[in-house]
Structure formats: C-alpha cells, structure tokens
Amino acid sequence: MKPLIAPSILSADFANLQRDVEMLNKSEADWIHVDIMDGVFVPNISFGFPVVKAIKKHAKKPLDVHLMIANPDNFLKEFKEAGADNLSVHYEGCTHLHRTIHAIRDLGMKAGVAINPHTPVNVLQDIISEIDLVILMSVNPGFGGQKFIESTFQKVKYLRQLIRTKKSKTKIEVDGGVDLKNAPVLVEEGADVLVAGNTVFGSKNPSETIALLKSSK
Ligand code: DX5
Ligand code: ZN
C-alpha cells in the first residue's frame, strides 16, 4: 500500500504561503501537516489561528493539525473552527487523554495521539481502538530539519503489532526527519502516513519529492 504523504507547512516559505499551499494542492500530497508550538510544551513557537485559517482558505486537502501545546483542551473548538480535519494531541501533555480524544471526535474531527521518542508504544494499548491515528515522533518535537531517531523503526513495528492485536484501524504516522532513504523502510515496517518538512520544502522540486515519497516501498 502506498503511504499517505503529509508535507509539513512549518518548512514552507511563510512569505509565500498561498503559493506553497497551491503547490501542495497540485501535488500528490494527501494531507497538509500543520505544527502548532507554544513555547511551553516545546522550546519553540510556530504560529496560531490566523495562520491556520489562512492555510485553510487555500488548501484543497485535509489539514492534519499537530498540537505541541500545554492545555490543548482549552483550544479544541478553536482549532475545529480554524479548519482542522485531523487534530492530534500529545500523550505527554494530556492528563485526561480519553476525555480529550472524545471531545475532538465530538467536534467532528479525526483524533490523533502523538508520542515523544522516549514514550513507549504500549502506553497506548487501552486507547488505541478509540483513536484514528498515532503520531510517532521520530525527533524531539519543536523544530523542523532534525535528524531521524533510528529506534523509531522498531516502534513502528511494535505499534503495527498492537494495532493488529486490537483489530483497530488506527493509522500510524511518522513525524520528524523523514527522508527518501528511511521512507521505504518505514513503509515496510507498517507506517501509513509520512510527514516531511525539510525533505520536501528543502528540495529543488518539492512536488517531485512528494511523488518520490509517495512511491516509497
Ligand atoms: C517537529 C514537527 C514536525 C516537523 C517535521 O516538532 O512536529 O512535524 O515539522 O519536519 P522535518 O520533516 O523537517 O523533520
Ligand atoms: Zn508535526
């Protein structure tokens, strides 16, 4: 199965956001990955609602919003209104994760849970059947363009097993340092969705790079 490709807008040219979103519309990208960082949960600040709305205005593909913020519960409705189709929160940032997930679904979005590189996959075993997607962080969240953490391959494998055992349809998304070399291995181990920021926007021909990622196998 071909993976879904979710280019990360964090690496786009913010002075030419409309141009870059239109490039993604015409490309083989499946989702547009939107990273929200608050300077508290992660040591960086990205952007907020006005920028998400501006992306949504031009996007013809679903917005895959990844929240790296403290107290995400306070903002779920606002992200729905700003245009999020998928909304992912961090396991490490939610005390009442089950409640948060159901609140996301009740608002009509797909619910995802992201886990940091140090968090084992098995913490998800009692929630896996109730979520649409898991984001396995393959870098420490906060910045684009970081080096892929190799132990992620093994985590994809474990997670695939867990999903199979629970007979769930949850998608596995890998986020951070994905490139043309590790993409086929990730797909082989069972990844369904590949996020790529620097690999796409740092390349000479982003649209062609998306097509190459899409054909990873
Ligand atoms: C990292 C973000 C990623 C990032 C990926 O905190 O969650 O989505 O934009 O960028 P690359 O592919 O450049 O590592
Ligand atoms: Zn992300």
Whole-structure pTM value: 0.98
Quick one: pLDDT at residue 50? 98
| Rounded-to-integer distance, Cα 166 and Cα 170, Å | 10
The active-site residue out of 30, 38, 132, 175 is 175
Residues near 59 by beta carbon (within 8 Å), at least 6 away in sequence: 21, 24, 25, 32, 83
Task: Judge whether 73 counts as a catalytic residue.
Answer: no
Quick one: pLDDT at residue 1? 84
Q: Where are the domains of the chain?
A: 4-214
Do 40 and 72 form a contact (C-beta atoms < 8 A)? no
Mutate to test the pocket of ligand 1, among 68, 116, 139 (most ligand atoms within 8 A of CB): 139
Residue with tokens 């886990």: 115
Task: Judge whether 35 counts as a catalytic residue.
Answer: yes
Do 6 and 211 form a contact (C-beta atoms < 8 A)? no
Nearest alpha-carbon partner for 141 in 161, 169, 165, 117: 117
Atom number in ligand 1 closest to CA 200:
12
- Which superfamily is assigned to 4-214 in CATH? Aldolase class I (3.20.20.70)
- Each residue's pLDDT, cut to its tens digit, for the chain (217 residues) gives 899 999 999 999 999 999 999 999 999 999 999 999 999 999 999 999 999 999 999 999 999 999 999 999 999 999 999 999 999 999 999 999 999 999 999 999 999 999 999 999 999 999 999 999 999 999 999 999 999 999 999 999 999 999 999 999 999 999 999 999 999 999 999 999 999 999 999 999 999 999 999 999 7
